[in-house]
Amino acid sequence: MRIVLLGAPGSGKGTQAQKLVETYGIPQVSTGDLLRAELQSESKLGLRAKADMDAGRLVPDELVLELIQRRLEKDDARDGFILDGFPRNSSQARDLENLLREIEKPLDAVLLLDLDLDVLSKRLTGRRTCSVTGKLLNIHFSPQEELDACIAAGGELIQRADDNEETIANRLKVYQEQTRPLIEFYGSVDLLRVVDAMGAVEEVSGRMQKALDCL
Ligand code: AMP
């Protein structure tokens, strides 16, 4: 199964992608994660992406395309993948179409995680990752036991560098201006399935499952 997860920053793409990985046994391909790994290893590509990432802007298309191409060539992506955070503008959507046409593996569906703007903002400002378990948590929404469990395990609740208020505002603006138009594009080619992203993780993943069952 080849899926794109579309949705604003904070709509839960990363969390839901992890659920789909468990269900379908196909990898999550997140351009944000790939870029952060490049940054961490201080590669040339990572260093070129850094200023844009810090400011909440999109990094140049050719950089993400290179990362996506490299990632989709790997063996584990042969039977499918979940694209999380790519494409993010029309030009990337066209690049993806061309790339998948070349390897004769078209998309099966694009799932839009649909959520209100003020909930999005809280999800982003409250988002943390446990430094020990890697679990994604939220100081506004996660059960206190889960937050405490991270600390009890000797971990810290780490906030992503680009989850500060100024960058968040920028990322939401970029989404509205550049990524939202993809909803219409994927609707017009009959790939779009809209999923209500409000509610608990399990509720949303149930809805996603339903949307994918009919494929
Ligand atoms: P994410 O983890 O998906 O929220 O991405 C974090 C940051 O990485 C974004 O704010 C962008 O700066 C950059 N980024 C991730 N995916 C893309 C993409 N498809 N195109 C351009 N920039 C991206």
- Please list the pLDDT of the chain residue by residue as tens digits (215 residues): 999 999 999 899 999 999 999 999 999 999 999 999 999 999 999 999 999 999 999 999 999 999 999 999 999 999 999 999 999 999 999 999 999 999 899 999 999 999 998 889 888 999 999 999 999 899 998 999 999 999 999 999 999 888 888 999 999 999 999 999 999 999 999 999 999 999 989 999 999 999 999 88
Does any domain span residue 124? no
For β-strands 136-138 and 127-130, DSSP reports them as antiparallel
Q: What's the pLDDT score for residue 165? A: 87
Question: Which residue's structure tokens are 């979940």?
Answer: 82
Q: How far is CA 60 from CA 38, 46, 66, 127, 191, in A?
A: 14, 12, 10, 26, 26
Q: How far is the CA of 153 from the centre of ligand 1 (A)?
A: 30
The answer to the question of residue 33 being in a domain is yes
Annotated catalytic, 210? no
pLDDT at position 118 is 83
Catalytic annotation on 123? Answer: no
Note whether residue 204 is domain-resident.
Answer: yes
Instruction: Find the 17 Cα to ligand 1 centroid distance in Å.
Output: 16
175 in ligand 1 pocket by Cβ < 6 Å? no
**Domain-located, residue 207:** yes
Phi-psi region of 136 (alpha: psi -120 to 50; beta: other; left: phi over 0): beta
Identified catalytic residue from 13, 123, 135, 207: 13
User: Active-site residue 94, yes or no?
Assistant: no
Q: What is the predicted pLDDT for the residue at 214?
A: 82
What total number of domains does the chain contain? 1
Q: Does residue 75 lie in a domain region?
A: yes
Residue 34, in any domain of the structure: yes
151 within some domain: no
pTM reported for the whole predicted model = 0.88
Cβ 12 under 6 angstroms from ligand 1: no
Choice among 36, 50, 122, 160 that is catalytic: 160
Expressed as residue numbers, the domain containing 14 is 2-116+164-213
Assigned domain for 32 exists: yes
Q: What is the CATH classification number for the domain harbouring 109?
A: 3.40.50.300
Beta-strand (E) ranges in the chain?
2-6, 28-30, 81-84, 109-114, 127-130, 136-138, 157-158, 192-196
What is the torsional sign of CA 189, 29, 139, 23? Answer: positive
